[in-house]
Structure 1
Amino acid sequence: MQRRAFLATAAIALALATATPVLADDGAEAVVEAYLAAWNAHDSAAAAAFFAPDVVYYDASVGTPIEGRDAAKTGVIDNFLTAVPDASWKMKGAPVVQDGSVAFEWEFSGTNTGPWGDGTPATGKPFTLTGASVFRVKDGAITAQSDYYDALGFYQALGLM
């Protein structure tokens, strides 16, 4: 009997020692993954639908946050999907998910075949850009997104600098 108890205790200890720690808030991660899928489907309305009405979208290369779902859709999503209609946005590795926050490194690529929102004409150049984003999700909606990437390298790849 002691041997069985010992084996059962050892099995439980082994399972606990080798288990993957639970860091994920599956709801927040699922929202962000669906948001990326909408970007990759080139559907700006579907992507923007994941934003809370008062979302704050921060692009570190710009420095000034965009506030509100409609402004973020027009100023970011529509801008990129018009300029890069073949855009592809992919997570690199697994995201870090905790307490409604989701962070991950990414790769964004495509060819600049459309004009940018500020009137800059298309360059026709392909690019691959890497960066990282941090999202905050509450009640199934993205309340904040912050993007960090090498804007100088991006502009150089497009031939704009």
Structure 2
Amino acid sequence: MKEQFIDLLEYNSHFNQLLIKIYLENKDSFNEKMTLLLNHILNAQQIWNSRIIIEESFGVWQINPDEKLSEINQSNFENSIKILNERNLDEIIAYRNSKGDDFQNSILEILFHFINHSTYHRGQIAMLMKQVGLEPINTDYIFYKRK
């Protein structure tokens, strides 16, 4: 199971990094919503990691400096791999969401959630890219595996 999650985390990081590269090369074409969603993808993974490893978390919708995006993506990946290697996937994490409500989920559920969450928002960005005349990237998992 851990090997499968390592693969999914690598997939997630790869396409986040590609999206960051495209953003940095086309900042003038990216609108506010696209920029917000890109930052939100990175922020969400950092927040979920921080709930597990008990560190200070980002704001859900904070805008990060452009020059830090790749570093944040890499740090997110490394922290997620560390969690995967050092913690039990069945371990239950108690946390408070951004609205202040208390919840509990397993590490497995959390990892699956933020990977799926990232995929969802990358799809939204792809649609928005097309609307502004940019060629969207195909971030489907199967295309990643075909490389």
TM over 0.5: no
- Higher relative contact order at CA 8 Å, sep ≥6: structure 1 or structure 2? 2
Whichever of the two has the greater Rg, that structure is 1
Bigger helix fraction: 2
For Structure 1 versus Structure 2, the TM-score category normalised by the shorter chain is under 0.3
TM-score, scaled to structure 2: 0.27
TM-score, scaled to structure 1: 0.25
